[in-house]
């Protein structure tokens, strides 16, 4: 069948070239890593290139940046292209290994992962997860996180993934609120809930 798709491309928006080209040295502290991720989320919102979520993978001991991801669901029409998935996919593809454990890798995400991204984490090989805005705040602002086990932090710990919550949480929440205030569409899994004025769309994460 001629129109059955054979490939897809996940590419960061053009503004990311400037951001990544300007990266100066390793990011020593988790706060620095999160500040970089939030800068990407803000640029993503400011440029109208997608939803207000960003994530990055770092080599945990050194702080070397391995990849950046942003939510690309709307521009790519790929429902699974959440920021965390994009960051993990680019890190693996860039390094030539699906197992990021080789880097003692840390995923830093502007928002606590949704149910889908949470499920993807144990298969990525990361050893550390650092989150910005808390799950409850994400939902309160209007984004769907899906069904997550109440003990998900402990469960990741049992899988060897240490979890750090609420790093620059207020600043991370502010990015989500700015997106909503600017009229950005919130696209949620089961029932899209449109806000006034249209704009880009997004799913949680």
The residues carrying an active-site annotation are: 84
- d(C-alpha 51, C-alpha 180), whole Å: 10
Interface with Zn ion, residue 185, by CB under 5 A: no
Cα 50 off chain centre by = 12
- Residue 204 C-beta: closest distance to Zn ion, Å: 6
Candidate residues 33, 82, 148, 168; the one interacting with Zn ion per rule CB under 5 A: 82
Candidate residues 16, 56, 111, 117; the one interacting with Zn ion per rule CB under 5 A: 117
24 in the Ramachandran plot: left (φ > 0), alpha (ψ -120 to 50) or beta?
Answer: beta
166 in the Ramachandran plot: left (φ > 0), alpha (ψ -120 to 50) or beta?
Answer: left
Strands 54-59, 64-70: pairing kind? antiparallel
* Number of residue whose CB is nearest Zn ion: 205
- Residue 93 C-beta: closest distance to Zn ion, Å: 19
Interface with Zn ion, residue 168, by CB under 5 A: no
Interface with Zn ion, residue 205, by CB under 5 A: yes
Interface with Zn ion, residue 114, by CB under 5 A: yes
- d(C-alpha 172, C-alpha 16), whole Å: 19
Strands 128-133, 105-111: pairing kind? parallel
- Residue 4 C-beta: closest distance to Zn ion, Å: 27
Closest to Zn ion by CB, 100 or 107: 107
- d(C-alpha 166, C-alpha 169), whole Å: 5
At 57, list the tokens: 């993978």
- Residue 8 C-beta: closest distance to Zn ion, Å: 18
Strand order in the sheet with 162-164: 64-70, 54-59, 105-111, 128-133, 162-164
Closest to Zn ion by CB, 57 or 116: 116
**Binding piece for Zn ion, criterion CB under 5 A, among 16-24, 56-64, 80-88, 182-190:** 80-88
**Binding piece for Zn ion, criterion CB under 5 A, among 74-82, 128-136, 165-173, 185-193:** 74-82
Number of residues that bind Zn ion (CB under 5 A): 5
Contact residues toward Zn ion (CB under 5 A) are 82, 114, 116-117, 205
């Amino acid at each position: 069948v001629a129109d059955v798709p054979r490939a897809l491309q996940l590419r960061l928006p053009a503004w990311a070239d400037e951001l990544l080209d300007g990266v100066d040295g390793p990011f020593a502290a988790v706060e620095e890593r999160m500040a970089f991720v939030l800068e990407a989320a803000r640029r993503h919102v400011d440029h109208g290139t997608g939803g207000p979520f960003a994530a990055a993978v770092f080599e945990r001991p050194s702080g070397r940046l391995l990849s950046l991801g942003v939510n690309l669901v709307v521009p790519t029409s790929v429902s699974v292209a959440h920021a965390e998935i994009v960051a993990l996919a680019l890190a693996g593809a860039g390094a030539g290994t699906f197992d990021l454990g080789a880097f003692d890798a840390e995923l830093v995400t502007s928002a606590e992962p949704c149910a889908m991204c949470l499920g993807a984490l144990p298969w990525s090989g990361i050893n550390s997860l650092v989150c910005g805005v808390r799950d409850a705040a994400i939902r309160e602002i209007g984004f769907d996180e899906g069904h997550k086990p109440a003990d998900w932090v402990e469960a990741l710990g049992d899988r060897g993934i240490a979890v750090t919550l609420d790093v620059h949480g207020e600043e991370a929440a502010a990015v989500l609120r700015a997106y909503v205030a600017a009229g950005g569409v919130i696209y949620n899994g089961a029932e899209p809930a449109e806000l006034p004025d249209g704009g880009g769309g997004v799913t949680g994460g």
